[in-house]
């Protein structure tokens, strides 16, 4: 089973960061990829096995991290012009993840409103982020219905 079997694609895997501790390298997913993966796991894997899976609880935790991650990344990149395109791509990936019908349905079924996972970026000083967000806002609002 590869990563795409659990909702992740090459773009998600490319967004990993490597952390090294005591000579061991860890590849860490960002909250966008974690949300996708947990939503797929919750939909497709038996949750009440022995031991029971914790995907529902993990999804709730990731839902807390998701907007904070995006806001922190925005705050760190808004004054670094060389990072604007990269961050704009992150926002686009986040919007696509939330807009995917199955992900949005899984979130709603678990009491999470997809629109609330996106920080308000309509006044971003990064033009690509601001215009992309304004373009996505109607779709994001519709997801909560």
List, in sequence order, every residue forming a beta bridge with 127; answer none if it has no partner.
Answer: none
- pLDDT at residue 145 in the model: 73
Closest to 117 in 3D by CA, of 51, 79, 55, 62: 62
Q: Quick: pLDDT tens for 11-64.
A: 998 888 999 999 999 999 999 999 999 999 999 999 998 899 999 999 999 999
Mean pLDDT of the chain, nearest integer: 92
3-state SS string for 47-103: CCCCCCCCHHHHHHHHHHHHHHHHHHHHHHHCCCHHHHHHHHHHHHHHHHHHHCHHH
Q: Among residues 85, 62, 67, which one has the least CA distance to residue 121?
A: 67
The answer to whether residue 5 scores a pLDDT higher than 90 is no
Domain ranges of the chain: 31-143
Directed axis angle between helix 127-143 and helix 84-99, to 10°?
10
Which pLDDT belongs to residue 6? 66
Residue 7 burial (10 A CB sphere; 0-12, 13-18, 19+): buried
Residue 144 has pLDDT above 90, yes or no: no
d(CA 86, CA 23): 29
Report the alpha-carbon distance of residue 10 to residue 13 in Å, rounded.
Answer: 5
Query: Exposed, middle or buried, 83 (CB in 10 Å: 0-12/13-18/19+)?
Result: middle
The confidence score (pLDDT) of residue 33 equals 95
CA distance 134 to 19: 34
Q: Is the pLDDT of residue 3 over 70?
A: no
Would you give the end-to-end CA distance of the chain in angstroms?
34
């Amino acid at each position: 089973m590869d990563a795409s079997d659990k909702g992740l694609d090459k773009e998600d895997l490319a967004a990993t960061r490597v952390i090294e501790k005591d000579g061991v390298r860890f590849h860490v997913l960002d909250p966008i990829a974690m949300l996708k993966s947990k939503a797929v796991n919750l939909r497709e894997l038996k949750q009440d096995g022995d031991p029971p899976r914790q995907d529902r609880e993990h999804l709730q935790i990731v839902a807390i991290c998701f907007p904070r991650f995006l806001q922190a990344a925005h705050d760190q990149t808004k004054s670094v012009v060389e990072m604007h395109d990269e961050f704009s791509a992150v926002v686009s990936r986040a919007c696509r993840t939330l807009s995917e019908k199955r992900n949005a349905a899984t979130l709603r079924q678990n009491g999470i409103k997809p629109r609330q996972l996106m920080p308000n970026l309509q006044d971003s000083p990064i033009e690509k982020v601001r215009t992309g967000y304004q373009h996505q806002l109607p779709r994001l609002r519709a997801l909560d219905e």
